[in-house]
Homo-oligomer: A and B are copies of this chain.
Amino acid sequence: MVRDRDSRAELIRTMARLLRDQGYTATGRAQLLAESGVSNGSLYHHFPGGMEELAEAALEASGLAVANALREALDGAPDTATGIGRFLDVAARPVGGQPCPGCPIAPAALESPIISPRLRTVAAQCFDQWKDLIATRLRADGWPEHSVAEAASATLALIEGALLLARVSGEMSHLAHAKRAAVSLLAASPANSDKAG
């Protein structure tokens, strides 16, 4: 009774890759089926809601994968800034012959507000989840509560913006710049001054 897991997982994996590389609307059913090797009937068996339901599942899977990578980078680092830097190092590394780096959520997220409110909600949850991971690590660093949310939001914005610029320009240097900016931003933290004050 687990025979289906292969094609279902393959659909999610292929859809997640296509969403990362070209977004939601640009990903047609024909391309999805061709590149996943799954038949049309299987698609609508596993995802009766069609392309949109599959896209939701794919975004959730991508969001979880990023969250795991981010948690791992943050947990293994001496402080938040170093962890963010290591995460960006991983993001800059091209894996599995992907044509371009970048956030797997952002392309679909930006077209979602009007196209598909359901996808927008999923994307927003992903970003919130990542922001919470950064916030938790900042608290562990001793950041005062009143500035944790703001620092986490700005740090995530810095990451997302750098990934966007890197993809569009093809220049990986944007990631290195963001890495050093994160160090600067989180080093000039109110943690020290607030402890003193």
* B-binding residues in A (CB < 8 A): 21-26, 99-100, 102, 106-107, 109-115, 120, 123-124, 127-128, 149-151, 153-154, 156-162, 164-165, 167-170, 173-174, 177-178, 180-181, 184-185, 187-188
Could you say which of B107, B127, B185 contacts A110, with CB atoms under 8 Å apart? B107
Residues of B within 8 A of A177 (CB): 149-151, 153-154, 157
Question: A181 vs B100: C-alpha distance in the bound complex, in angstroms?
Answer: 28
Whether B26 pairs with A111 at a CB distance below 8 angstroms is yes
Question: A164 vs B154: C-alpha distance in the bound complex, in angstroms?
Answer: 12
Give the Cβ gap from A58 to chain B, nearest Cβ, in Å.
16
Give the Cβ gap from A5 to chain B, nearest Cβ, in Å.
29
Residues of B within 8 A of A162 (CB): 153-154, 157, 161
CB-nearest residue of chain B to A100: B113
Whether B156 pairs with A158 at a CB distance below 8 angstroms is no
Question: A74 vs B110: C-alpha distance in the bound complex, in angstroms?
Answer: 27
